[in-house]
Structures are given as structure tokens and as C-alpha cells.
Amino acid sequence: MRKLHLIGLAALPALVLGCSSTAIDSGTTKGPGVSTSKTSDGSQADTKKEGDGARKIVFEVTGSGVSKAASITYTVGGNSSQANNAKLPWEKETSSADPFLLLSLVAQSGSGGDGSISCRIKVDGKVIVENTSQGAYAVVTCSKDA
């Protein structure tokens, strides 16, 4: 019985290595616009699909009676970035070749009385969502799949 356990333990590293190499060769995506492809020598390489159907995404935040946004958070897929104390109007341009995009933009105004803060998301020049909130410390959210 003891020999059987030792043989099983000796075979375990080979099983783990065999399974992990299968997962690497499956061609899974590495993030928005990045995929794995085989090079001429047969090895794996990450390739970015910038010119391959990439869509232009523009995030915009504007204010009326508000000159700065206390915070702006924008998301493409699962990747988020933030800008703090951003002067308005604010704009961020990016692109993605992913066929299905989850886009989000959240902005908060500072103390400023009755001013308003607005957000807008454009994809390939077309406005896909826009929204406005009003008042001190107002939060505005724009979210859409594209």
C-alpha cells in the first residue's frame, strides 16, 4: 500500500505540468485587445489588435457652475482608472478591439452650490449614453454596453 502512495506522489508533478501546458496553448485572451498567437518558430506571443477593428471610445465630463470634478472614474471592460480634482471640461480617449464592451463613467462634483455635472460616452463618434446631476457633491453615472 505504501508503494502505491509513493507512485501516486511521483506522478503528480507530471500531471500538473501536463494540465498547465494545455491551458497555455488554448489561446485565451490576455485583456482588452490582446490575444495569444503562435510565432513562426511555434512559440506563443501576445499580439495587440490595435488596427483590427478597434473602436474609438471617448469619455467626457462637463459642468455648469462647476469648474472641477472631485473625482472621475472611467472603466473599459474590467479595467478602471481615476482622475481626481480634474478641471472641467474633461475628456479621455481610448480604443478597444473587443467585440463586446462594458463602459462606465462616474464623476462627482465638489462643493459648489447649485451647479450641475454631466457625463457622456461616445463610441466611434456616436453618443451612446449621457446623464446630468445637480447640486453640491452630486454624483453622475453613465454606463452602457457597446
Give the CATH number for residue 124: 2.60.40.2880
C-alpha cell at 3: 508503494
Q: Is the pLDDT of residue 144 over 50?
A: yes
Q: Is the pLDDT of residue 141 over 60?
A: yes
- Give the integer Cα–Cα distance in Å for 43 and 138: 52
Per-residue confidence (pLDDT) for residue 24, from 0 to 100: 35
Task: Please tell me the total count of domains within the chain.
Answer: 1
Highest mean pLDDT, choosing among 5-9, 27-31, 116-120:
116-120
Is residue 26 in a domain? no
Strand order in the sheet with 126-134: 90-96, 55-64, 116-123, 126-134
Per-residue confidence (pLDDT) for residue 112, from 0 to 100: 66
Element (H, E) at 115: none
Element (H, E) at 132: strand 126-134
DSSP 8-state symbol, 54? P
- Give the integer Cα–Cα distance in Å for 27 and 57: 26
Residue 88 three-state SS: coil
Is residue 73 in a domain? yes
pTM greater than 0.85 (yes/no): no
Helices (H) and strands (E) in the chain, counts: 1, 10
Domain that residue 131 falls in: 56-145
- The amino acid at residue 125 is G
Q: What is the pLDDT of residues 100-137, one digit of tens each?
A: 999 999 999 987 678 999 999 999 999 999 999 999 89
Per-residue confidence (pLDDT) for residue 64, from 0 to 100: 94
Is residue 81 in a domain? yes
**pLDDT above 70 covers what percent of the chain?**
64
Is residue 127 in a domain? yes
Band of residue 32 on the pLDDT scale cut at 50, 70, 90? very low
Q: Is the pLDDT of residue 93 over 70?
A: yes
Per-residue confidence (pLDDT) for residue 30, from 0 to 100: 39
Per-residue confidence (pLDDT) for residue 53, from 0 to 100: 84
Q: What is the pLDDT of residues 36-86, one digit of tens each?
A: 445 455 555 544 444 568 999 999 999 999 999 999 999 999 899 999 999
Is residue 31 in a domain? no
